Amino acid sequence: VSDEQPPSRKMPLDGFESPKAFTFQYYLTITPATWREVGGSVSDGYQFRAASFVTNELIGPAVFFRMDIDPIRVTYYTEEVRWSKFLVSICAVVGGCIAITSVLAQFIETAEAFAGDRD
């Protein structure tokens, strides 16, 4: 079995010339995490985030691996919101709108009365 490609087939990196001083940087961030299910079960684990960069720096060809471990644990949980809490929140929004409207109406009436007294 031959590893050579047919001459008619063009490869993706054909003709690519890399600079003499590529610097590869790989970043890995590890975050402790806890998942709490509705039934009460708890699962501990980790989340990983990775990134990589390729730069043409003057330090020469190099590879850097950087790993960070977050000191803060992330906790995911699900919460059921009761209808009574939802209705109380809606009433609070409606009451706040009514209060703001009445304050603005009173301000406009006072401004009109003040403007009328000046004439």
Residues 50-82: pLDDT tens digits?
888 877 776 767 888 899 999 999 999 888 888
Reported as type and span, the H/E element at residue 15 is none
Q: Residues, the chain, total?
A: 119
Residue 105 banded pLDDT, cuts 50, 70, 90: very high
Give yes or no: residues 59 and 99 share one domain.
no
Residue 12 reports pLDDT greater than 80 = no
The whole model's pTM is what? 0.46
**Does 98 lie in the same domain as 71?**
no
Q: Is 13 left (phi over 0), alpha (psi -120 to 50) or beta?
A: alpha
Query: What are the pLDDT digits (tens) for 15-47?
Result: 766 556 678 888 999 999 999 988 889 999 999
Q: State the residue range of the domain holding 50.
A: 1-80
Same domain, 75 and 107: no
Domain count, the chain: 2
Task: Specify whether 33 is located in the same domain as 61.
Answer: yes
Separation of alpha carbons 89 and 92, rounded Å: 5
The percent of residues above 90 in pLDDT, for the chain, comes to: 45
Same-domain pairing of 73 and 87: no
